[in-house]
Amino acid sequence: MITGKILGTGSYVPPRVMDNDDMARIVDTNDEWIRERTGIGRRHIAENETTSYMATRAALRAIEQSGIAPEEIEMVIVATSSSETIYPCAACEVQREIKAENAVGYDLNGACTGFVLAFNTAQAYISAGLYRTILVIGAESMSHMVNWTDRSTCILFGDGAGAVVLRAQEGEPVRMAAHSDGEKGPALKGLSRHRKDWDCKDSDKDAYIRMDGQGVFKFAVRKVPEIIEEILEQSDVSLEDIEYFILHQANRRIIEAVAKRLKTDISRFPMNLEEYANTSAATVPILLDEMNRKGMFKRGQKLMMAGFGAGLTWAGCLFEW
């Protein structure tokens, strides 16, 4: 079976760090509350770096590790919901910057589920035999989206990007699943800066991100274990065979609740949200890159990725390193 193997990973976060004490100088909050409710300690915030700049830095690191030439890349997919420009899309800007002159590029807006959806899309192209080498990126500038006077959301997010290079090789097929529940969409809304009045009450005209935090929490802890089990049912792989569960890094308590529901030790659920907070579509590839560069992966290991977020959407995939 032809499948997309990860040849290399890369990531980039802006150097400017805002810790929880910095947040407490902006809104009525404190380090203890943020750590206890979310697990977040710091976040990296873009100053002049744009979404496509961060995506490009991550991509160049992934390409360097892959040992391929940029001209070998046939497709660039950037999962993002916070790019400064609608068009040209971030993927075409990356394509230009990395000189991937033979690649088609497009963005995919799947909010926090975006990277997993983009990874699965790339895998489908590869297993269909249509493309051999695809660069998949998750990149977000969440600091542009949040309302910095709303303590219930601004403390949650950070900026950054992560990337993987996939190359067609013989291997075990990637198992995947994805769902949406548009009925629950109002639980998490991100408003375009040009349409601030869209569907807003007068009281929250300035809110870029509006969220029913507890609603999203309950959705995530129910749907993530469900989709992991759904994916396992497609294969002869059991929960015990999975080396790591690489989940969207929204909240430590969500990840702990998922591990508990699956009766799986939390040590198999790596986390880095203390350092980066929720970088939406970038959390999963940033974590993948950190683990890869620490030497945590070996060929043949089985890994499960899962994302969840606005839409509401949730998606996952099981693949071999």
Closest by alpha carbon to 111, among 190, 39, 184, 187? 190
Please give the radius of gyration of the chain, using alpha carbons only, rounded to the nearest integer.
18
Report the run of H or E that residue 147 belongs to, with start and end. none
Among the listed residues 89, 248, 251, 317, the single catalytic one is 248
Is 89 designated active site?
Answer: no
How far is residue 286 CA from its own chain's centroid?
A: 8
Q: How far is the CB of 303 from ligand ACO (least distance, A)?
A: 20
**Which one is catalytic: 20, 278, 292, 317?**
278
Q: Name the minimum Å distance from CB 310 to ligand ACO.
A: 5
| Shortest Cβ 279–ligand ACO spacing (Å) | 9
* Active-site residue, 20 included: no
Which residue of the chain is nearest ligand ACO when measured via CB? 213
> How many other β-carbons are positioned within 10 Å of the β-carbon of residue 32?
10
* Residues in CB range of 262: below 8 A, 6 or more apart: 225, 228, 229, 239, 245
CA-closest candidate to residue 268, choices 291, 238, 244, 293? 244
Q: What residues make contact with ligand ACO under the rule CB under 6 A?
A: 29, 33-34, 37-38, 111-112, 151-152, 155, 188, 211, 213-214, 216-217, 250-251, 278, 280, 309-310
- Concatenated DSSP letters of 237-261: --GGGEEEEEE--S-HHHHHHHHHH
Reply yes or no on whether 317 is catalytic: no
- The residues annotated with a catalytic role in the active site are 112, 248, 278
